[in-house]
Amino acid sequence: MTQEIFFSRLKQQYSQHLPFVVYNSPDSHGTIKALLQERSELFTTEDFTESGFVFAPFDDHNEVILIPENASEKLFFEQVEFSDSEENIILAPEKTSEEDKQKHINLVNKAVKALQAGEMDKVVLSRQEELTLTEEDPLMLFLDLLKNYPTAFVYCWYHPNVGLWLGATPETLLKIEGNRFKTMALAGTQKYEGTTDVEWGEKEKQEQQFVTDSILENFKISSAENIQFTAPFTTRAGNLLHLRTDISGNLISHTDTQLGVSSEIVKNIITALHPTPAVCGLPKQKAKQFILQEENYDREFYTGFLGELNLQQVTQRTRSRRNVENLAYRAVKKETSLFVNLRCMKIEGGKAILFIGGGITKDSVPEDEWQETVNKAGTMKKVILK
Ligand SMILES: C=C(O[C@H]1C=CC=C(C(=O)O)[C@@H]1O)C(=O)O
């Protein structure tokens, strides 16, 4: 399918107020995918047994929305090549309000006091920022995000009852292929200044270690074995650098390695992981309570998760002389590939509402934490304030 036909189908879907999602996964090798739901119903999932695209909120008491595979048309479009514009470090203009700054600093101060009193080890605090859009076509914004962040999970998601969300997230929540799974502990932030060969402060090392330890601890009590993890390394996300540990393992019981693991296991692992201390804190329930009470706004789908759930993947064999007789062979298997909803925005009435946050520990400096949210907002401002 050509780019033109692909996007005109999406445009038509949006103008008819029908749900859709269009996305590029970092490991999809340039294939942009879309699911276009046939009717405007709002489907939800509770047990993660269905196949489709999930869109889950931060607060797990709220509904997880599903665009079901069997109620949608699937579209693919092969990008000719990845853009290398991630190499151009053009920083977005820093437009912020003094009032927003004070509010965030007060919030961080309150958290630091609670952390120093030993009430929690870590809490992730966030804020919203509203901007007027000059480009009102969300699909153009999606294309801009795609060009700027080829190694992120870039998406545009829409449901008439919920709204329109866009994002470019660097964080994998969970990937399941057969009985293998992968996740990552991502935390600690500094500005990218032309090199990934950087030093990390103790505060950043500690906040990232909290995430790794907590994920590993959770896997001890869920359906996982043979857990392996890397040493923390520096990874780039647009104009930012983060510390990251890759974690992988096997799921203990599975129904069929070809078609995928049992849905009960998918639910157990998601529940054990979400929300990780990369977006919530430690201990989980205390941090969550602090966030819900003190942030003073509704995160909605920011720091929730999204992506393919038990989605049928068809892998076509590559053409070569040796396997000509197998050209008709297509391997069909189900995969789950979920990402944490970071560096995202909601589009509403000609405005973009950005969501940005950062991990707070007892050693956090409130002014620096504010600046970190300003730097993170740059990911989205780069495409909005062109
Ligand atoms: C909560 C966010 O980022 C998380 C992911 C990476 C680094 C983070 C940090 O350094 O605080 C956050 O844990 C966000 O971008 O809004």
Query: Does residue 237 surpass a pLDDT of 70?
Result: yes
CB 359 near ligand 1, within 6 Å: yes
Q: How confident is the model at residue 324 (pLDDT cuts 50, 70, 90)?
A: very low
Q: In the predicted model, what is the mean pLDDT of residues 139-150? A: 94
Q: In the predicted model, what is the mean pLDDT of residues 303-319? A: 79
Q: How confident is the model at residue 378 (pLDDT cuts 50, 70, 90)?
A: very high
334 closest CA partner among 201, 178, 230: 178
Counting residues of the chain whose pLDDT is more than 70, the rounded percentage is 88
Report the range of poorest mean pLDDT among 2-6, 192-196, 244-248, 252-256: 252-256
Region of residue 310 (phi > 0: left; psi between -120 and 50: alpha; otherwise: beta): left
C-alpha of residue 333 to centroid of ligand 1, in Å? 33
CB 122 near ligand 1, within 6 Å: no
Query: Does residue 344 surpass a pLDDT of 60?
Result: yes
Domain annotation for the chain: domains and CATH numbers:
3-315+327-384 (3.60.120.10)
Among the atoms of ligand 1, which is closest to the Cα of residue 343? 15
This prediction's pTM: 0.92
Among the atoms of ligand 1, which is closest to the Cα of residue 340? 5
Give the mutation target among 279, 302, 305, 371 for probing the ligand 1 site: most ligand atoms within 8 A of CB.
279
ipTM of this predicted structure: 0.99
Joined together, the tokens standing for residue 65 give 């929305």
Q: What 3-state DSSP class applies to 207?
A: helix
151 closest CA partner among 201, 97, 84: 84
Q: How confident is the model at residue 282 (pLDDT cuts 50, 70, 90)?
A: very high
Joined together, the tokens standing for residue 373 give 């949210």
Among the atoms of ligand 1, which is closest to the Cα of residue 126? 16
Strand pairing report for 233-237 and 240-251: antiparallel
Would you state the pLDDT for residue 321? 47
Among the atoms of ligand 1, which is closest to the Cα of residue 204? 10
